[in-house]
Structure 1
Amino acid sequence: MSGYQLVLRAYPKGPRREELFDTLTEGGRTRPTLREALNLLRHGMRARLGRPGSRGVVAIAILISLSTAYLGAAVAARIGWEGGPAFPSGARLAAIENALFPGVGHWAERDGDRLFDDVGEPSTTEVLLRGHDEDFKFSTLAVGPDGRSLPGDYRAWTEATAARLAADGWDVGKTVPTGDTVIATGQLDQNGTLLTATRDEILMEVETSTAVVDTPPGNFDVTATLTRMTPRWLSALSWAGWLAGALLGWLVTGWVSRRTERARGAIRSLTREPVVIALVPLTPLTVMGTAGLIADTLRTDPPGWPFWSLSMTYGWGVTQFAVLLCLLSVVVAAVGGRSAVRTAAQRSQAPS
């Protein structure tokens, strides 16, 4: 396949594509320049929408493509997280517990059995029907000593723990003092510390405090929380899904538009109005979700919530409704557009 043949696939299949190929290659050239290729891609993707005199179809195609791009990124990210960093277990978890609490009884507890934590613990069927609870988030792993507190000075303990974690291969960050701010002076009334450490795309936050309720005098409360960070390859996979979704949305919109271009009345309305209505709730969710995807790509700390969480919590009902409306448009185009094309062909063959 020559370079021109590849680029001209941007145009819908038909005489126009063949004419362009013959015109561009009649001088013996087989490959377009970069500028020429970009120009052909731009005009080809516009030609896929049909309706050359309509600006509205371009606006609708852009909005649909952005929505399907967001959906593609969400699907790719969700699949990718199945191969993402796993919480330590077995000997790895035991090494962490011994580094944190040597010679002391301890416990480890996850707030979600799988990748995510949902306090409602819905089944797969329930998620498909009504989405997730509003507190839906990535699961975490907490580790702490029996009784949740240790005797002694939390500053000295934090310093010794930082050294043990570094010796165990963790990349230990700075220790940050924590506590309440004194309103009169604006200064920190320190009553604890926050120590962070990373390893194998896992972030550990070790918090100590003497201000936790029921902490015995002379003791300090301590908990280490482990959360997963977003791997760079997963961000790349999400953006690949975004590009694939954008292309799919544009191509399907173009197919529906060209198939119903000569349709009249109900067929045209049932392919246009449902999509316009669907875009009303989809567009804000798409904007917020895409902003979350960008933030996840740039952030250096764990995401907390998947960038598509609003579409599965607050926006889940309208997302379902919007998707059904878009599917209605495609079905009408598939069924009604066929008769519209046949009628237009019969008109063109009728004697004048």
Structure 2
Amino acid sequence: MPPTDPSLARRYRRLLRCYPRDWRQARTPEVVGLLLDTAPPGRTRPTARETVDLVRAGLRCRLGRPRSRTVVAWAVLASVICGLFTGALASRAAWETSRPQPDRAEAGAILAEVFPGHDLGDLDVPPALFVVYGQPLTLGNVRSVLLGDGGEYQESATGAGALGAPPVPAEQIVAVARQRLTASGWQVYDPEVSGGITCADKVCATPLAITQTDLRARRGDTVLTASISSQTNADATYLAVELHRAPPPLAAPTGALGTLLGAMVAFLVFGWASRRTEGRRGDGAAKFFFGVALVLWWLPVPLAAPQLLRHHLDEPHPAWHPLWEWLGQPVASLLFLVGAVCALLALGLAAEPRRKRSPVALVE
């Protein structure tokens, strides 16, 4: 097959779409002809090296810095993190389509069915789907979330607990609960059993071994988490139960769409700023502010994401943690805010109009 095979030329032209339109209109025939002349007979596809070189050079040209070796990497980092932030915000908005947390009637019926004969006391019904220190997010407490207490922003749950010594062995409570959950249509996950030590008196003269079993189940959009302990202290809890909602169906697709759109917009904005600042006096300052913003935005991700992944692998999860927690938010919201200020400063330098030279007056 000759090297001028139409399929090879067509694929080269597709790769050249990474370049700006003006560049393609002026140089596409010349570049494609050169690539075809250097291709060996029989080749129908560009090599991996050619593909990488053409894409990288095209993106450099689009970003206004054809000689830069790192501008593409910075653009990718900016696009990905901005896309993830946008996706997290979109998925949080989709959470508003979720049903409220189980009320007293719904939770009471579930607990009476799964844990009969146990006095779980008063039900604690949360005031909102997401809370901060048990309270809805308001203008009064949003400052604390953004400036250090972001870890307290989390999904709420309807909870109850039973005090004292268990009326029957803990193993029997777990077995009965699993049986009743399965019979009621719940998807029951394997329980996790851990051991510990408690004390029979204040000086702990007689330490006692106890076991704690964590049981998780899901039915529809409702998730049940129960902790059953073999402890016998009168003022301690032997059964603690929480009920909360799983992510709504729109959370995942909305987050994915938001991530894609956010990444595309971020790449376009980065390219605009890169072209505007190239060769200008404020180029160094713009690079500095953009670099600081990306470092601060990315810094929590390699810390939070592996930790959450290990958490998911170590124990069963009826529902995944929301996207923003994988990005270290809002725990690291202060870093995000400082990074946002730096990004705005860089964009401000890019938006500054170019200075025009004043005409030189003629002196007679």
Unaligned residue ranges in structure 2 (runs of 5+):
1-10, 34-43, 199-207, 360-364
Cα separation, partners in 2 of 1:212 and 1:201, compared to 1, 3 Å: farther
SS at match of 1:108: coil
Deviation of residue 115 (structure 1)? 3.0
Report the Cα distance in structure 2 between the residues aligned to 1:135 and 1:283, rounded to whole angstroms: 21
Cα separation, partners in 2 of 1:154 and 1:126, compared to 1, 3 Å: closer
Deviation of residue 255 (structure 1)? 0.8
Residues 1:72 and 2:92 are matched in the alignment? no
Report the Cα distance in structure 1 between the residues aligned to 2:352 and 2:197, rounded to whole angstroms: 67
Cα separation, partners in 2 of 1:300 and 1:44, compared to 1, 3 Å: farther
Deviation of residue 323 (structure 1)? 0.7
Deviation of residue 321 (structure 1)? 1.7
Unaligned residue ranges in structure 1 (runs of 5+):
27-32, 183-187, 347-352
Q: Deviations over 1:46-82 (max 9, x none)?
A: 3221111112423432332233133223212322322
2:23 counterpart residue number: 16
SS at match of 2:240: strand
SS at match of 2:185: coil
Report the Cα distance in structure 2 between the residues aligned to 1:9 and 1:296, rounded to whole angstroms: 43
1:277 counterpart residue number: 292
1:172 counterpart residue number: 188
1:287 counterpart residue number: 302
Residue number among 125, 148, 151 corresponding to 2:167 in the alignment: 151
Q: How does 1:54-203 map to 2 (within 5 A)?
A: 54-84=68-98, 86-89=100-103, 92-102=106-116, 106=120, 107-110=122-125, 112-119=126-133, 121=135, 123-124=138-139, 126-127=141-142, 131=146, 133=149, 134-144=151-161, 151-180=167-196, 189-191=209-211, 193-203=213-223
Report the Cα distance in structure 2 between the residues aligned to 1:294 and 1:47, rounded to whole angstroms: 38
2:333 counterpart residue number: 316
Cα separation, partners in 2 of 1:236 and 1:65, compared to 1, 3 Å: same
Q: Deviations over 1:291-323 (max 9, x none)?
A: 57877998951456751574423x322321211
Cα separation, partners in 2 of 1:117 and 1:34, compared to 1, 3 Å: farther
**Native 8 Å contact 2:101 2:129 kept in 1:** no
Residue number among 261, 271, 283 corresponding to 2:278 in the alignment: 261
**Native 8 Å contact 1:203 1:226 kept in 2:** yes
SS at match of 1:312: coil
Q: Deviations over 1:84-120 (max 9, x none)?
A: 465333654343022134466643224x532333228
Residue number among 234, 241, 246 corresponding to 2:251 in the alignment: 234
Code of the residue aligned with 1:312 in structure 2: it is P
Deviation of residue 6 (structure 1)? 9.6
Q: Deviations over 1:113-172 (max 9, x none)?
A: 323332284523642575162433322221345x57653343333323322222221122
1:210 counterpart residue number: 230
Cα separation, partners in 2 of 1:81 and 1:291, compared to 1, 3 Å: farther
Residue number among 313, 320, 325 corresponding to 1:307 in the alignment: 325
RMSD over aligned CA atoms reads: 4.3
SS at match of 2:188: strand
Residues 1:221 and 2:228 are matched in the alignment? no
Deviation of residue 5 (structure 1)? 11
Q: Deviations over 1:257-278 (max 9, x none)?
A: 1122242x2x223322222233
SS at match of 1:58: helix
Cα separation, partners in 2 of 1:148 and 1:76, compared to 1, 3 Å: farther
Report the Cα distance in structure 2 between the residues aligned to 1:129 and 1:48, rounded to whole angstroms: 41
Report the Cα distance in structure 2 between the residues aligned to 1:207 and 1:136, rounded to whole angstroms: 23
1:30 counterpart residue number: none
1:243 counterpart residue number: 260
TM-score (normalizing by structure 1): 0.70
Compare 167-176 and 127-136 and name the one that shifted more: 127-136
TM-score (normalizing by structure 2): 0.68
SS at match of 2:123: strand
Residue number among 42, 59, 63 corresponding to 1:45 in the alignment: 59
Report the Cα distance in structure 1 between the residues aligned to 2:268 and 2:45, rounded to whole angstroms: 23
Code of the residue aligned with 2:283 in structure 1: it is R
Code of the residue aligned with 1:18 in structure 2: it is Q
Deviation of residue 41 (structure 1)? 5.7
> Percent of aligned positions with the same letter in both sequences?
26
Report the Cα distance in structure 2 between the residues aligned to 1:141 and 1:52, rounded to whole angstroms: 57
SS at match of 1:259: helix
Code of the residue aligned with 2:294 in structure 1: it is L
2:6 counterpart residue number: none
